[in-house]
Structure 1
Amino acid sequence: MNPLQTNRFSRTLLSAAVVAAGALAHTPAWAQAPAQTALPEVTEEILVTADFRQAELFDFATSATVIDARTIEQRSAQHLEQVLNTAPNVNFSTGASRGRFFQIRGIGERSQFVEPINPSVGLIVDGIDMTGIGGAATTLDIQQIEILRGPQGTLYGANAMAGLINMVSGEPTEQFYGEASLGLAEYNTQTASGVWSGPVSETLGYRFAVGSTTSDGYQENAYLGIDDNANIDEQTVRAKLQWQPNENTTWDFTGLYVDVDNGYDGFSLDNTRTTLSDQPGHDRQETLAGSVRLQWEANAAYDLIGLLSHASSDLEYGYDEDWAYEGLCVDFECVYDGYSSFDNYLRDNQNTSLDLRLVSSNAADELGWVTGVYYRDQSEDLRREYTYLESDFLSDFDTESQALYGQLNIPLADRWNLTTGLRYETRDATYSDSDNASFSPSENMWGGKLALEYRDSADNLWYGLASRGFKAGGFNSSQTLPAEDREFSTETLWNYELGWKGEGFDGALQTRIALFYQDRNDVQTKQSRVVPEEGDTCPCSFIDFTTNAAAGSAAGLELEANAQLNAMTEVFASVGLLDSEFDDFQSFAHVDANEDEGEPVDLSGHDLPHAPSYQFAIGAMFNLTEHWYARVEVEGKDAFYFSSRHEAQSDSYELLNARLGYRANSWEVALWGRNLTDELYETRGFGAFGNDPRNGYMAEPYYQFGEPRVVGVDLTLRF
């Protein structure tokens, strides 16, 4: 930390201490609320809401993680990316201001540029489909994050082949509740939020939350002499109304506004956190979204549940492609003259979905059923502003999906249950662009599951599961590609899973274990070709496209455990093991950026990208006294490949996080730190990539780095 940062952080801590002292001395009478529970019991019921019926986590026959509000708060997390490492076999990719592309068990997208994408990991926020626009995954007032691993073909269809992330914010409360929080941290990081909840009348309740996160970011720009070239500026507003006009009917209304205006200057010619760009980029998103949910107990036999949602998002992502300034070769000796370019993508994303289902209201030992219909309409309009284009590139992409689905829960012999599910989905898409490319694919897809459950005499759950997921095919817009590379096929995935969930020592120990094997067909993966242009010496000649590998497979284990050792100490751990590979795949990965053509490389047996062979998180929570508490945790990942196009890898790493806090009746202050050992680790990388004229555009790997050590203080007042 340089002296300027040290002085700034000292002032930050001093200001926070003054605020905390003021709260101590002047807590008003109206704020004398009952003390918050220092540590929830491990046996507290955790409900998973993403399924057709709410189910307790230990009754849910699939591999799932629930990240609760306490974990989000204890890590001082402002975005989904800052808590994902607590879930086994879940990864994310940056290449932007946030890690907004997600992978589950080694499957998922890692970036988006010209082409529209068909995501493998679904993202739902309060019932609103945010799949593919993860910048909106801020954690303001989020009460739990549910991560379902494996295909959710019956539940969500084509956008959840790898799994689903479901974010659920707080519900309106029966009594008035309020909370105000302030956070200060290094890199001029400031967070502020407020939550208000309560009844309007006997039948109407509300909840309103507003929050802001700003930071200079941890990159510096030596050419411009600034340290906020990768700044964070995120504002979030959530609103909920819950209306129950009678005992049989409940209406839930949700509104969401997210405004992201972040900087993006992630890559350096010197592979450091100090860049030389003269046009730092940006990563912006403005989303206005809402949903209406109806639950009507139509009669004693079934309920009608309807969910209508719409999300309107304007996104802008741009970056300095040369990572340098125009006078670089004046200040440095260069082998070739440098180039200068800026690439900017503006997207208008409109997404409307409607889901209507009938759900039986049977007892647990009776036949249960669900049947429903689904409709989704999405449009994505792109404008690409690029230095080397004579005019802006424009494209229009529209998709329309309809689905029928059903599920049966069949009680068998004592302690046995069988669940079957099936979904049939049709998808029609139209695409056109300013290069006169047009496609109109239409597909019929299906997915489902078959699960057998057994409850032993100790009430432990054993299950076996086979599920099938699918991901729609697509196309590549570049006219320079050969005809055989212009389109790619639907991908399918079979997932086989064995699991056990149980408790011991009178509920003081809870354990969840899952073993799985996944078989992928027509794996959709990114590739590159080089299209030489006369006199072209820059890397602009790379053409990225999506193709189908013949097949792929993965096997692994997921283990999660919580233990209440005594009244003072709780320990928790998660481990993910993953062995993944391509089968029979000839890749056109580019080996030398100075050659005219890339040679096919046999990637059969090669690890899938963003699929570390192990991940872990382990930690402990200590109630030191009635008021003092502490939390310490370590998270880590094995090295993993960044792409199927090159051999660049991350390093394996371990991060140390900690928090020390003091709780009184109505307020709390805490000192926290993430990555306390200041580990240097990579979150995105390019391999065999030439972008530095000083070395003649020699091919070498480049990396974007994760968050360095950050220490901060939070103050929360509850009333």
Structure 2
Amino acid sequence: MTPKTLRSPLALAILAAATLANADVELTPVTVEADFRQTDVQQIPEAVTVVGSDDINARSAEHLEQVLSFAPNVNYSSGASRGRFFQIRGIGERSQFIDPVNPSVGLVIDGIDMTGLGGAATLFDVKQVEVLRGPQGTRFGANALAGMINIRSNDPTKETEGYLSARAGNYDSYGLGGAVSGSISDSVQGRIAINGYQSDGYTDNIWLNRDDVEQIDEIVARGKLAFQVSEDTDLGLTYLYADIDNGYDAFSLDNTRETYSDEPGTDAQDTHAFALSSDTQLSDALILQTEFTGSWSDIEYSYDEDWAYGEYIWLDDDPVYQPDPCDTTQGPCLADFDGYSSFDQYLRDYDRQSADVRLMSGTDGRIFGNTTDWVAGIYAMQRNEDLTRNYTYLESPFESELETTSTAAYGELSTQLSESLRLITGLRVENWTNDYRDSDGIEGSTDETLLGGKVTLEALVSFDHLAYVSLARGYKAGGINTDPDISEANREFDTEFNNALELGLKSSLLDNDLKTRIAAFYIQRKDQQVKSSYAVLDTNGQPESFQDYLANAAEGRNYGIELESDWNLTARLSWLLSYGYLITEFVDYTYQTIVDDVTQEISKDGRQQAHAPQYSVSSALTYALTDALSFRVGGEAKDAFYFSDSHDERSEAYVLWNARIAYSQPAYEVALYGRNLTDRDTQVRGFGGFGNDPRKGYAEEPYYQYGEPLTYGVEGKFYF
């Protein structure tokens, strides 16, 4: 790390700390709910970030992408209306087109597996977001090679309570929502929350003279019931509905927020999902927990592939360009240039059902001389993914079907070796099968038995310091590349395994006014799955198709450090800080591409992996001017990173600032907020290795999708 690298992110936190003084914010225990047993974040021996409702509100966040910076070494990729592909410690997918994807980072919302469906990760009425970093092989298995994001909404309450909320901001954005909770009877409580959010988005389409081609139109509703069936049995029922109808027109030939597309795309998701859980104290020695979930989602992802207007028509197998009318007062007249025109649409249906049944030791159920708590469970999952692709250059729609089943047995032992030492061992054995078929006649199946788990040694160094060392093994199943243009040599890819070593220290200092969490890690990636994509050009040098496939690198290395702290500096000032430093590289990785009709072998040995910035930092201070009036200023910084493993285009490093001032009373709250206060352009997705601009003869150049610009607004809540 160069001195400049150190100064850039750390100066952000130091400068902010010197700017303010005093906020009446009290640090309270924060419980992690994603593990088998609910545990305080300071006591769980692994790297976990918990973003609570106070931090979500202080960022005025509507979606998960707007709070991920609180977690060190966590990034996201857009290529859609929202950032819905996640990377933890440099590991994770960045997009999905024709191929089914086995994700590296799992997403769970109220116990429902929503992995790969990040568009529904809205944050209205959410209690907390938990980001578990590192392989979660025992608890979650194949979908958590790099980690897991767990979103928990507010639970029903016995006392009647509720609120109405509203917000309005620039880009014609506004939101309306409400929640109500309380007892239906002495043994039943319920909660309902509904929210709608709309915005014109941040793109102006010059050709269509529209400013809403990247519109945000999201409605999310959630209902929860809690039943006390008896003194020993609790039941929970959750229903989730998400209606996401967003636009997608993000890429411009000029790399600006002004586009020329004549067919803007769509990024839509319609989801119905439920979870039924039970918790039964069978005896003082035995606890039975069950969870049954199901979700049904219809997805549309589409875009104007040429990012322009004008088209080819085909006569006698020869392309003849037919220009559209062009009003040059609207901008550069692309119709004066030969070009191509194509639209790509992906319609997916996802059906998922799962069952998880486990037994756990109670207070009298410990084994091995009353020293060991235990968990034993079985898990079953079925997932169907049907795709219809409508593409300009296809004679008929492409259709595919994927059926995935998983059955697993898992267990965990937690043994108290002494008053200060505890050994945790976990193991998961999972059978994973895929059956695939499509309209191009490609069929294939895989059947694998996968093994993962963790061994952790935890030491209570003193009453205020918990140290741990762990060795974890995670896995992600292999599969079949489905692009009909893929060569047979690239048709299949193998399972990826990660072996991760982590050392950590969690401390409570200064009479619990300062809480810190430090972790250092080293990950060995075996048979690393790498997304590769390149353009196949026609005889005129224009993009005819894209080969998009998964391949296995020989090995990868990811290592770094993470620091988090929560500090009550004074009775009125709190300081939140997270810092991540990450090194990633490929080892012995080469792939083939086509340049000028010649197959070439490209080596990526030693290169940084995609979407893995070397440093990431987030800092925020909250200052209480009075008991009712508070002010928060925060910033986040991120190093440059490669967009892809198949080309060398990179983002720019950046620092963003945000602020919020709020006035709170028992009955209401009003606030003014701003994000990206300096209106800095940030790149959240990028492409390279091809050209798409007919004015430049399709010369190769990079293209970027930009993140959120300066946004500001006013919001309020009325409590009852």
Question: What interval of TM-score do these two structures reach, taking the shorter chain for normalisation?
Answer: over 0.9
Which residue does the alignment assign to 1:483? 488
Code of the aligned partner of 1:482: S
Give yes or no for the alignment of 1:187 onto 2:208: no
SS of 1:694's equivalent in the other structure is: helix
Q: 1:49 to 1:589 in 2, by over 3 A?
A: farther
Alpha-carbon shift at residue 588 of structure 1 (Å): 3.2
Structure 1 Cα separation of the partners of residues 534 and 599 of structure 2:
6
Which residue does the alignment assign to 2:115? 131
Give yes or no for the alignment of 1:463 onto 2:439: no
Code of the aligned partner of 1:556: G
Report if aligned partners of 1:672, 1:711 keep a CA contact under 8 Å in 2: yes
Deviations 1:227-275 (A, max 9, x none): 0010000000000000002110000000000000000001000000000
Deviations 1:357-376 (A, max 9, x none): 00111379831000000000
Which residue does the alignment assign to 1:515? 520
Structure 2 Cα separation of the partners of residues 695 and 431 of structure 1:
41
The one of 417, 426, 435 equivalent to 1:430 is 435
Alpha-carbon shift at residue 540 of structure 1 (Å): 2.8
The one of 114, 117, 140 equivalent to 2:98 is 114
Which residue does the alignment assign to 1:8? none
Report if aligned partners of 2:398, 2:439 keep a CA contact under 8 Å in 1: yes
The one of 41, 46, 71 equivalent to 2:26 is 41
Deviations 1:644-678 (A, max 9, x none): 01011100001000001111231111000000001
The one of 530, 542, 545 equivalent to 1:541 is 545
Q: 1:334 to 1:223 in 2, by over 3 A?
A: closer
Structure 2 Cα separation of the partners of residues 551 and 329 of structure 1:
53
The one of 245, 248, 273 equivalent to 1:289 is 273
Code of the aligned partner of 2:609: L
Report if aligned partners of 2:689, 2:702 keep a CA contact under 8 Å in 1: yes
The one of 214, 227, 241 equivalent to 2:211 is 227
Report if aligned partners of 2:585, 2:606 keep a CA contact under 8 Å in 1: yes
The one of 73, 80, 86 equivalent to 1:102 is 86
SS of 2:296's equivalent in the other structure is: strand
Report if aligned partners of 1:335, 1:693 keep a CA contact under 8 Å in 2: no
Which residue does the alignment assign to 1:29? none
Code of the aligned partner of 1:552: G
Give yes or no for the alignment of 1:525 onto 2:542: no
Structure 2 Cα separation of the partners of residues 137 and 542 of structure 1:
30
Which residue does the alignment assign to 1:684? 685
SS of 2:142's equivalent in the other structure is: helix
Structure 1 Cα separation of the partners of residues 309 and 468 of structure 2:
59
Which residue does the alignment assign to 1:380? 385
Q: 1:204 to 1:40 in 2, by over 3 A?
A: farther
Alpha-carbon shift at residue 478 of structure 1 (Å): 2.7
Structure 1 Cα separation of the partners of residues 254 and 548 of structure 2:
24
Structure 1 Cα separation of the partners of residues 411 and 528 of structure 2:
27
Report if aligned partners of 1:460, 1:500 keep a CA contact under 8 Å in 2: yes
- Residue correspondence of structure 1 range 2-151 to structure 2 within 5 A: 40-42=25-27, 44-151=28-135
SS of 2:688's equivalent in the other structure is: strand
Q: TM-score, normalised by structure 1?
A: 0.92
Structure 1 Cα separation of the partners of residues 433 and 118 of structure 2:
24
Code of the aligned partner of 1:679: R
Report if aligned partners of 1:258, 1:286 keep a CA contact under 8 Å in 2: yes
- Residue correspondence of structure 1 range 249-264 to structure 2 within 5 A: 249-264=233-248
- Residue correspondence of structure 1 range 72-471 to structure 2 within 5 A: 72-326=56-310, 327=323, 332=333, 337-362=338-363, 366-471=371-476
Alpha-carbon shift at residue 335 of structure 1 (Å): 9.1
Structure 1 Cα separation of the partners of residues 641 and 183 of structure 2:
50
Report if aligned partners of 2:575, 2:620 keep a CA contact under 8 Å in 1: yes
Deviations 1:160-191 (A, max 9, x none): 00000000000111201111110001000001
Structure 2 Cα separation of the partners of residues 369 and 540 of structure 1:
57
Structure 2 Cα separation of the partners of residues 602 and 211 of structure 1:
49
Deviations 1:406-450 (A, max 9, x none): 000011022100000000000111100000000011111010000
The one of 498, 514, 517 equivalent to 1:493 is 498
Structure 1 Cα separation of the partners of residues 221 and 305 of structure 2:
33
Give yes or no for the alignment of 1:698 onto 2:699: yes
Which residue does the alignment assign to 2:636? 635
Structure 2 Cα separation of the partners of residues 123 and 528 of structure 1:
25
Report if aligned partners of 1:269, 1:275 keep a CA contact under 8 Å in 2: yes
Alpha-carbon shift at residue 200 of structure 1 (Å): 1.0
Deviations 1:91-115 (A, max 9, x none): 0000000000000000001000000
Structure 1 Cα separation of the partners of residues 719 and 427 of structure 2:
46
Code of the aligned partner of 1:562: D
Report if aligned partners of 1:635, 1:655 keep a CA contact under 8 Å in 2: yes
Which residue does the alignment assign to 1:554? 558
Alpha-carbon shift at residue 459 of structure 1 (Å): 3.2
Report if aligned partners of 2:246, 2:267 keep a CA contact under 8 Å in 1: yes
Report if aligned partners of 2:25, 2:573 keep a CA contact under 8 Å in 1: no
Report if aligned partners of 2:25, 2:572 keep a CA contact under 8 Å in 1: no
Code of the aligned partner of 2:714: V
Structure 2 Cα separation of the partners of residues 130 and 479 of structure 1:
28
Structure 2 Cα separation of the partners of residues 229 and 376 of structure 1:
38
Which residue does the alignment assign to 2:601? 600
Report if aligned partners of 1:265, 1:280 keep a CA contact under 8 Å in 2: yes
Q: 1:322 to 1:314 in 2, by over 3 A?
A: same
Q: 1:53 to 1:333 in 2, by over 3 A?
A: closer
Alpha-carbon shift at residue 150 of structure 1 (Å): 0.3
Alpha-carbon shift at residue 475 of structure 1 (Å): 1.0
Structure 1 Cα separation of the partners of residues 649 and 507 of structure 2:
40
Structure 2 Cα separation of the partners of residues 267 and 530 of structure 1:
17
Give yes or no for the alignment of 1:618 onto 2:619: yes
SS of 1:600's equivalent in the other structure is: strand
Alpha-carbon shift at residue 544 of structure 1 (Å): 1.1
Code of the aligned partner of 2:554: A
Give yes or no for the alignment of 1:566 onto 2:551: no
Report if aligned partners of 1:632, 1:657 keep a CA contact under 8 Å in 2: yes
SS of 1:81's equivalent in the other structure is: helix
Q: 1:333 to 1:559 in 2, by over 3 A?
A: closer
Report if aligned partners of 1:328, 1:338 keep a CA contact under 8 Å in 2: no
Code of the aligned partner of 1:52: F
Structure 1 Cα separation of the partners of residues 248 and 487 of structure 2:
33
Alpha-carbon shift at residue 483 of structure 1 (Å): 1.9
Structure 1 Cα separation of the partners of residues 497 and 174 of structure 2:
44
Structure 2 Cα separation of the partners of residues 580 and 589 of structure 1:
23
Q: TM-score, normalised by structure 2?
A: 0.92
Structure 2 Cα separation of the partners of residues 542 and 53 of structure 1:
46
Which residue does the alignment assign to 1:19? none
Structure 2 Cα separation of the partners of residues 587 and 281 of structure 1:
31
Structure 2 Cα separation of the partners of residues 676 and 527 of structure 1:
36
Structure 2 Cα separation of the partners of residues 164 and 96 of structure 1:
21
Alpha-carbon shift at residue 456 of structure 1 (Å): 2.0
Which residue does the alignment assign to 1:473? 478
Code of the aligned partner of 1:283: D
Alpha-carbon shift at residue 333 of structure 1 (Å): 7.0
Q: How many residues align?
A: 677
Code of the aligned partner of 1:193: G
Alpha-carbon shift at residue 531 of structure 1 (Å): 4.4
Structure 2 Cα separation of the partners of residues 128 and 244 of structure 1:
22
What's the Cα RMSD here?
A: 1.5
Give yes or no for the alignment of 1:658 onto 2:659: yes
